[in-house]
Structure 1
Amino acid sequence: MSPNPRVRLRRACVAALAASVLLSPVVAGSAYAAGAPARSAPAAPSPTPVPPTDGNTAFPQLTPAVAARLDAAVRRIMAETGTPGVIVGLWAPGKGSYVKAFGVADKATGAPMKTDLNMRIGSETKTFTVTALLELVDRGKVALDDPIGKYVSGVPNGDRITLRELAGMRSGLFNYSEDADFTKALESGSGRTFTPRQLLDYSFKHPVRFAPGAKFEYSNTNLILLGLLIEKVTGRPLHEVIQKDVLEPAGLHHTVFPTGAEFPAPHAHGYTDDTASGKTVDSTGWNPSWGWAAGAMISDLEDLHSWARTLATGTLLTPATQAERLKTTPAGLPGAGYGLGIFDVQGWIGHNGSLPGYQSLTVYLPEAQATLVVLLNTDTSYKGKEPSASFGEAITQIVTPDHVYPGHKAPAPKSH
C-alpha cells in the first residue's frame, strides 16, 4: 500500500491476479479541452480470418428467464458494492444478447445510467498500446526480443529487458504508481499533467525488483516505456498512432486517447473515495495523464463489444504475432495467465481497467464466441474485491459455470 494515507492504490485485477495497479488522486481536474487532430499513418495489416468454432452449446439461450436471473445478480452486486451505476453487455451468436444499464450516471441529478455513455477504461488502454507495438512487429520495425535500451535511454537493465518482457509484465522494473513522491505529486492537484519521462523518473530511482523475465509482476512503468518506443519508431505522438493505426482499422468510433482531462459527452460521472475525509467524491474531470499509455483511454459499450473479439482473435495482427501475444505466464491465480497486454482467465480473454471513479471489464470466450463487457462508475472496492470482478463473477456463474471469471468454478448443486 502507499505510504501516503490520503491516496489509495487501486488494483484493477482479476480477483487475486495482480493486474492494473493505479492510484487515485484526491482533487478535481481541469475542464474539457479538445485534443489535437490526428495525422495520417501507414495502413494496418490486413485482417486475419477468424477460425470457425464447433458451436457454443454450453452457453445458454439468453431467454427472458435467464435475463431475469442476470438482472437479479447485477442488482445484488450493485447493492453489495454500493455501485451507483453499471452497464452490462453480453452477446453470443445464436444465443441472443443481454444489454442493459442499471442505476444512475449522475448522483447529483439522478440521471439514469444509459448504454451509450462514454466511460474511462483505465488499464484496458494497455490492450491498445500493445496492439500498436505488435503492429510494428508485423511491419518489421521492431522485434519482440529487442532490448528496450535500443530505443529508450536510461532504463535500468535496459540492455537486457526485452519488449516482450515489458508487454508481458516480466521486466522487474518498479511500478512508478507505487512511489511515495509520485503519490504526493498526484495528490497536489488532479488537474496536473505528468509527462512520460516524469513517470519514469519515479520508477527509476528504485532498484530493479528482479532479473528480466524471472517472474510476473504488474507494473505500469512497462507501458510508459512501450509508449515512448512507439513514438520514437513512428515519429508520431502515441495518441495519433493509437487513433490511426488501431482505432480506425478496428472500426472503433467512440474510443479516444485523451491528451488531457477531456471527456467526450455523453458520459457518466465517476465516484471514488477520499481516504482522508472518508467521503465519496466526484472524479469525472480528473486528469488521467499519469496513466498515459497504461491507463488514460475512454470508450463505450458498442466499441468494447467489437474490440473484445478483435483483441482476442487478432484481426489486426498476423497469426504468428497473435500466437505470440496469447502465450501466457502464470499470474497468481489458478487458470489465469498474462500474455502480451492481455490476460486469459478460465478461457475468458481480454483485460480490465480501473482508475478513480471508473472500472471496466472486456472479455471474450472463444469457445462460445461470447463477449462480456461491464462498465461501472465507481472504483471503490468491497471487502477487498474490485466491483468489476464481482459483476464478472456473478454473470459468468449464470452463463458459463465451467468458465467463471475471475477463475472460481461454480460449486455443484447439493443433492437433497
Structure 2
Amino acid sequence: MTPTRMRLRRACVAVAAAGVLIAPAVAGTAYGASAPARAAPYAAPSPDTGTDFPQLTPAVAAKLDAAVRQVMREARVPGVIVGLWAPGKGSYVRAFGVADKTTGAPMATDLDMRIGSETKTFTVTALLRLVDQGKVGLDDTIGTYVTGVPNGDRITLRELAGMRSGLFNYSEDDAFNAALDTGAERPFTPQQLLDYSFKHPVQFPPGQKFEYSNTNLILIGLVLEKITGRPLHEVIEQDVLKPAGLHHTLFPTGAEFPEPHAHGYTDQSTSGKIVDATGWNPSWGWAAGAIISDLQDLRSWARTLATGTLLTPATQAERLKTTPIGIPGAGYGLGIFDVQGWIGHNGSLPGYESLTVYLPQAQATLVVLLNTDVLHDGKEPSAFFGEAITTVVTPDHVYPGHQPPTPKSR
C-alpha cells in the first residue's frame, strides 16, 4: 500500500495510532465482535448546560494559539484554520501559516478546502431523508437496489452506513493504488471502484463488527441515484445542502475547486517528496470523500448533523446508535461518530484534512481545516489539533489523538 493513496480509507475517527483512523479497515484488523449498538449520549441541552466550558477570553485564546502553533511545528503543517464557538462563551476563529507554500500567501478563514470523508455525513443524511420519506428502509438489503454485491442479499443499508458490512475497502486494493499512481488526475467511475472491492472475499459476516470501508458509501451513493433518478451531486445539492442552508459547499463532478482555496500538500508515494495535490481528481472518493466546503458552512453543518435538524427525531435516534470501535469512549453510528461526547466526522484526502464536531453538553462546535495529510509519528495531524484544542477547553471531553505536550507560550 502506497503512503499517499491510503488517505481516504483512514478518515474515520481521529484517535490513537492503534485506533480506527490510522488503520480502520485493514484486512484482519482486530476490533473483535462488536457489542450491541448503544444509544449515543446525545440529549437536547438544557439552558444551564455548558457551564464547564470556559469563556473564550484573551487568556484562553492565547493558550489555544500556543497549542495550535506547537502542533503545527511538530507535525510540520503548512497552514490550518480553526473555528470554535460556544453560546454565551464566545468564539475563537483563527488562521495560521500559509495557504500556498510557493507564493507564501497566508492561510485565511474564508478559503475553500477539500474535506474528504466528512462527505460521508452528507451522503448518509441524504439516505436518511429518503428513509423519512418512506422511499427506502434501513433494513432493506443492498441487493434490492444494486446487483452483484457479495452478500448483497444479507447486507442492509443500515450495516453499510454503520461500517458493518464486511465488504473489502476498495482503497486498500493494490491494483487500485497502482492505477492512482499512474495519474492522480484520472477519473474513476463508481463501478470501477466496486470492481476493485468485489474481487476480494468478504471480511466477515454482515453486522458482526465494525470495519471502516469506503466501499459502503459508494454503494449508498448508487442507491441514492437509483431511488431519486438523479446523479449523486444533484441529490446532495438539492436534498441536503439547500435544506441545510449551505451555500459554500460543493460536490464536484471532477477536479474543479472554487476560488479562493488553499493549496494542499501530500507525500508522493513514488518519491516520498512533498507535492502539491490541489488539482488531483477526487472522483475516486465520490460518495465517500469528494466534497469541498469552508469554515462557516461546516460550523453550521456540525450542529445540523449532531442535532438532526434535517431528520425526524426517530431517524436521528437511529443514526446516533453507535457501535463500539475498540477505543474507550468512541463509537460509530450511521455515517457519524461520537468520540468522548464530540459528535461528527473527520476527513482526509491527499493534501487536506478536516475535523467537524459538536459537543451537545456545551452546544459547542469545533472545526479544524488543514492543508496537509502527511502523517506525524504515524498519526493524522487533524488528531493532534483536535486533542490539543479540546484539552484546553473541554478537559472532561478530550478528543483523542495523542497526549499533547504542554504548549509553550511565545
Same fold (TM over 0.5): yes
Deviation at 1:55, TM superposition (A): 2.2
Deviation at 1:407, TM superposition (A): 7.0
Paired residues of 2:4 and 2:266 also in contact (CA < 8 A): no
Note closer, same or farther for the CA distance 1:182–1:300 as it changes in structure 2 (3 Å cut): same
Letter in 1 for 2:367: V
Equivalent residue for 1:125? 119
Equivalent residue for 2:234? 240
SS in 2 for 1:14: coil
Note closer, same or farther for the CA distance 1:410–1:183 as it changes in structure 2 (3 Å cut): closer
Deviations 1:13-48 (A, max 9, x none): 42144248799xxxxxxxxxxxxxxxxxxxxxxxxx
Note closer, same or farther for the CA distance 1:400–1:410 as it changes in structure 2 (3 Å cut): farther
Equivalent residue for 2:386? 392
Equivalent residue for 2:15? 15
Deviation at 1:5, TM superposition (A): 6.9
Equivalent residue for 2:85? 91
SS in 2 for 1:352: strand
Q: How does 1:177-196 map to 2 (within 5 A)?
A: 177-196=171-190
Q: Alignment partner for residue 331 of structure 1, among 305, 325, 330?
A: 325
Q: Alignment partner for residue 141 of structure 1, among 109, 118, 135?
A: 135
Equivalent residue for 2:97? 103
Letter in 2 for 1:15: V
Equivalent residue for 2:257? 263
Size of the alignment, in residue pairs?
Answer: 385
Q: Alignment partner for residue 285 of structure 2, among 291, 297, 301?
A: 291
Counterpart CA distance in 1 for 2:86 and 2:4 is: 43
Deviations 1:208-263 (A, max 9, x none): 00000000000000000000000000000010010001000000000000000000
> Mean Cα displacement is larger for which, 298-307 or 276-285?
276-285
* 1:340 pairs with 2:334: yes
Letter in 1 for 2:288: A
SS in 2 for 1:262: coil
Equivalent residue for 1:35? none
Equivalent residue for 2:202? 208
Q: How does the TM-score come out when normalised to structure 2?
A: 0.91
Counterpart CA distance in 2 for 1:122 and 1:288 is: 9
Paired residues of 2:168 and 2:215 also in contact (CA < 8 A): yes
Note closer, same or farther for the CA distance 1:5–1:385 as it changes in structure 2 (3 Å cut): closer
Q: Alignment partner for residue 270 of structure 2, among 253, 259, 276?
A: 276
Note closer, same or farther for the CA distance 1:250–1:371 as it changes in structure 2 (3 Å cut): same
Counterpart CA distance in 1 for 2:22 and 2:160 is: 14
Paired residues of 1:270 and 1:378 also in contact (CA < 8 A): yes
Counterpart CA distance in 2 for 1:145 and 1:50 is: 27
Counterpart CA distance in 1 for 2:120 and 2:24 is: 13
Counterpart CA distance in 1 for 2:401 and 2:77 is: 22
Deviation at 1:145, TM superposition (A): 0.4
Q: Percent identity?
A: 78
SS in 2 for 1:112: coil
Note closer, same or farther for the CA distance 1:5–1:387 as it changes in structure 2 (3 Å cut): closer
SS in 1 for 2:84: strand
Q: How does the TM-score come out when normalised to structure 1?
A: 0.89
* 1:360 pairs with 2:360: no
Letter in 1 for 2:379: K
Letter in 2 for 1:151: Y
Unmatched 5+ stretches in structure 1: 24-48, 412-416
Letter in 2 for 1:129: T
Counterpart CA distance in 1 for 2:372 and 2:344 is: 20
Counterpart CA distance in 2 for 1:64 and 1:93 is: 17
Unmatched 5+ stretches in structure 2: 26-42, 406-410
Q: Alignment partner for residue 66 of structure 1, among 46, 50, 60?
A: 60
Deviation at 1:295, TM superposition (A): 0.1
> Mean Cα displacement is larger for which, 383-392 or 14-23?
14-23
Deviation at 1:279, TM superposition (A): 1.1
Note closer, same or farther for the CA distance 1:58–1:410 as it changes in structure 2 (3 Å cut): farther
Counterpart CA distance in 1 for 2:124 and 2:200 is: 25
Q: How does 1:16-55 map to 2 (within 5 A)?
A: 16=16, 17-19=19-21, 52-55=46-49
Counterpart CA distance in 1 for 2:377 and 2:47 is: 39
Deviations 1:369-407 (A, max 9, x none): 000000000000100111000000000000000000027
Letter in 2 for 1:337: G
Paired residues of 1:392 and 1:405 also in contact (CA < 8 A): yes
Letter in 2 for 1:333: I
Deviation at 1:53, TM superposition (A): 4.4
Counterpart CA distance in 2 for 1:77 and 1:21 is: 22
Equivalent residue for 1:36? none
Note closer, same or farther for the CA distance 1:156–1:277 as it changes in structure 2 (3 Å cut): same
Counterpart CA distance in 2 for 1:348 and 1:22 is: 19
Paired residues of 1:20 and 1:354 also in contact (CA < 8 A): no
Counterpart CA distance in 1 for 2:216 and 2:210 is: 12
Counterpart CA distance in 1 for 2:404 and 2:24 is: 30
Counterpart CA distance in 2 for 1:58 and 1:280 is: 41
Q: Alignment partner for residue 297 of structure 2, among 303, 321, 342?
A: 303
Paired residues of 1:9 and 1:21 also in contact (CA < 8 A): no
SS in 2 for 1:328: strand
Paired residues of 1:120 and 1:299 also in contact (CA < 8 A): yes
Counterpart CA distance in 2 for 1:6 and 1:113 is: 23
